[in-house]
Amino acid sequence: MPKIVRFHRLGGPEELRLEEAAPETPQAGEVRIRVQAVGLNNSEAQLRRGDYPMLKASFPSRIGRECAGIVDAVAPDVESIRVGDLVSTIPAFDIQRNGVYGDWCVVPQAAIVRVPPGMGRIEAAAVWQQYLTAYGPLVEYGRADERHVVLITAGASSVGLGAIQMAKSLGCKVVATTRSAGKTGVIRRAGADHVIVTETERLASSILDATGGKGFDLALDPIAGPGLEALAASAASGATIFLYGQLAPEPTPFPLVSVMRKGLSIRGYTLWEITLDPARRERAVRFICDGLETKRLQPIIDRVFDLSDIVAAHRYLESGRQAGKIVVTT
Amino acid sequence: MPKIVRFHRLGGPEELRLEEAAPETPQAGEVRIRVQAVGLNNSEAQLRRGDYPMLKASFPSRIGRECAGIVDAVAPDVESIRVGDLVSTIPAFDIQRNGVYGDWCVVPQAAIVRVPPGMGRIEAAAVWQQYLTAYGPLVEYGRADERHVVLITAGASSVGLGAIQMAKSLGCKVVATTRSAGKTGVIRRAGADHVIVTETERLASSILDATGGKGFDLALDPIAGPGLEALAASAASGATIFLYGQLAPEPTPFPLVSVMRKGLSIRGYTLWEITLDPARRERAVRFICDGLETKRLQPIIDRVFDLSDIVAAHRYLESGRQAGKIVVTT
């Protein structure tokens, strides 16, 4: 009997249960996937713990937004996708109902993208969350190019590494941060021009040093919290800081004086702005597929777990030891 | 002997001293004005008290940025302005050295605009701070038009009333706030479609009610502080909140969840972005002069004091009882 992952209450990784469940029949507009690989995301650990700012779980809840696999059933009204297609999912659906951790999932056809030729199932499960998150701030809104200095905090996260690759492909100068010195290698290999280790360096002055005193023009930050003050202090005049997460446990004081003095914009962002708008999504998918084909974008995989070890995989996700994507295979 | 206003330490209105001082000779690029009227601004009371976020005073300090009067001396290199011209000042200079409270002031020629024909000296001293502050968010950056709902907080302040007039001239729907019910009349007469009295109404739900649940697209807020949460809660998706001051004494918590969920931008702003950029300033001056000539923009004067009553004028400025501009005449 196939298995799916669900949780029945908030808590630690051990709340994730591998449960037998017969595959559901796709409803109108839906597609069923025989899942081969699942990409894990920090927001999924937050949802399980109950500190995901964007959604509170109701129970029982499926979980997971990113997978690759083979289509094995489609609703009668679905014409553009066929049984047997190798596909991956864009995070654009109800994670609780359509969650993808497991041997099967059912998702809206609008969330399906064919896997580019030559790409393996593990890499294919590590594409959309990271590159779509980076795409909005860098391309759709920021229109970043060789004139821009881009700051990427949490640079060794999957989104961080993906954003570094994308910013370099656009010609930007890239400064990235990481907590500990152990991850500077992978961040440099992803293309960062300068890496700041926040455990041992002062963030604001290091950013200013790395940019010749000018500061950054665009920042992508999933942390927020008190560190926002240092970002505002090291931003160039007119810079925009995109906040796309809340990893810091502390509240976020608003750095009003720097923000006024330098005319800064602090912009909230989630990839839903891209995934839920058909025109933006189409532009984004084309841009990212082009980057994958030309190898300017290459998912970086940290470690692969078996689905039966999902609890260990989430424990590792929470450890912060990874650099790049954690993938679970069935 | 002519007099100027200076202060020698931080403190209350009584720190403003009317001191005899012979007119200084303009240095290169400077113009001297025989001042006839001075417009007062909240930021000047903040500078005097020591809680102006943008500048700390050094002593002795002149004060004031906005005046109207007759040019009575120009530096030899100044060609475009002549002795005898009726002019007013754009706030684009060092307030401590070039402050305009007094019988005379010396300011850079770049800060001088000729008073439009037919405009009195009192109104001419009440133009630039309010309309230039409103111009950036509404015109230069916000490109506001009839599709936009604009929220103006502190609606009875001089900038608030000026912004209401400007937003209406652009075709926007305007919702304004004020602390007490006594000022709703002047706010409505300035053109606001809806006035919210924050002492008795809940800000977020009132804004949503006034906009049919949609929320505002652009906000101009000089208050910041804890009220920013209510603004974020009542913003439409994709809205921008321009913060141009810090009237609230409390810190400003950053409303991260609303900001991410709705893709909001919180943008710091000072009119220096307009006044210190020649191209922007030229566009702004043309736009505002056009509005003054066609009467779409009409400075609202609350009360006029004599220069000898400058302490009383500042006391009144701090009382919060005014609706519109306080002007001091010589």
- Is A285 part of a structural domain of the chain? no
In DSSP notation, B165-220 reads HHHHHTT-EEEEEESSGGGHHHHHHTT-SEEEETTTS-HHHHHHHHTTTS-EEEEE
* Separation CA B270–CA B284 (nearest Å): 14
CB pair distance less than 8 Å for B270 and A264 = no
Q: Which residue has the tokens 């609606």?
A: B155
CATH number, residue B97: 3.90.180.10
* Residue A177 and residue A192 share a domain: yes
**Least Cα separation, residue B238 to chain A (angstroms):** 9
Of B254, B262, B269, the CB nearest to A263: B269
Contact list, B268 vs chain A (CB under 8 Å): 256, 258-265
Give A319's contacts (C-beta < 8 A, 6+ positions apart). none
How many percent of chain A have pLDDT more than 70? 100
C-alpha span between A304 and A4 (Å, rounded): 18
- Is residue B33 classed as helix, strand or coil in its secondary structure? strand
Judge whether A281 lies within some domain: no
Q: Which of A236, A255, A272 is the last residue of a domain?
A: A272
Q: Are A256 and B244 in contact (CB < 8 Å)?
A: no
Q: A145 with A203, same domain?
A: yes
Can you give the pLDDT at residue B54? 86
Q: Is the pLDDT assigned to residue A12 strictly greater than 90? A: yes
Same domain (yes/no): A136, A259: yes
Shared domain for B228 and B171, answered yes or no, is yes
pLDDT at res. A158: 96
Query: Is there a single domain that holds both residue B107 and residue B160?
Result: no
| pLDDT tens digits along A137-179 | 999 999 999 999 999 999 999 999 999 999 999 999 999 999 9
- Give residue A53's pLDDT: 84
Q: Are residues A26 and A104 in the same domain?
A: yes
Residues of B in contact with A240 (CB under 8 A): 265
Query: Would the CB atoms of A243 and B224 count as touching at under 8 Å?
Result: no
Q: A252 vs B252: CB contact, 8 Å cut-off?
A: no
pLDDT band of A54, cuts 50, 70, 90: confident
Task: Check the CA dihedral A101-A103-A106-A107 and report its sign.
Answer: positive
Query: Does one domain contain both A147 and A242?
Result: yes
Determine, for residues B268 and A261 on separate chains, whether the beta-carbon distance falls below 8 Å. Answer: yes
Residue of chain B with shortest Cα separation from A253: B253
Pair A264, A316 in one domain: no
Please give the Cα distance from B40 to B246 (Å, whole number).
17
Is residue A315 situated within a structural domain? yes
Rg (CA), chain B: 20
Contacting residues of A for B270, CB less than 8 Å apart: 260-261, 263
B263 & B139 share domain: yes
Residue A286 lies in a domain: no
Q: Give A328's strand partners.
A: A38, A305
Is there a single domain that holds both residue A118 and residue A216? no
Same domain assignment for residues B46 and B74: yes
Q: What is the pLDDT of residues A193-249, one digit of tens each?
A: 999 999 999 999 999 999 999 999 999 999 999 999 999 999 999 999 999 999 999
Given the structure tokens 């900001």, which residue do they identify?
B259
Distance CA A11, CA A325 (A): 22
- Indicate whether A288 belongs to any domain: no
> CA B140 to CA B286: how far, in whole Å?
13
Asked if B270's CB is within 8 angstroms of A265's CB, the reply is: no
Structural domain that includes position B262: 129-272
B264 vs A contacts (CB less than 8 Å): 267-268
**CA A106 – CA A102 distance, rounded (Å):** 11
Neighbouring residues of A94: CB distance < 8 A, sequence distance ≥ 6:
none
Bridge partners, residue B150, by sequence? B174, B218
For residue A251, pLDDT over 90 is answered with yes
The identity of residue A260, as a single letter, is M
B84 found inside a domain: yes
Number of alpha carbons in the 13 Å side-chain half-sphere of residue B279? 1
Q: How far, in Å, CA of B135 to CA of B54, rounded?
A: 20
Query: In total, how many domains does chain B have?
Result: 2
Q: Measured between alpha carbons, how far is residue A234 from residues A59, A204, A215 in Å?
A: 43, 5, 5
Asked if residue A176 and residue A231 are part of one domain, the reply reads yes
Helices (H), B234-277: 256-261, 272-275
Out of B54, B259, B261, the one facing A260 most closely (by C-beta) is B54
Tell me, yes or no, whether A158 lies in a domain: yes
Residue A292, in any domain of the structure: no
User: With the CA atoms of B73, B75, B81 and B82 taken in that order, what torsion angle do they form, in degrees rounded to the nearest 10?
Assistant: 40
- Nearest CA distance, A118 vs chain B (angstrom): 36
Those residues of chain B that have pLDDT short of 70 are none
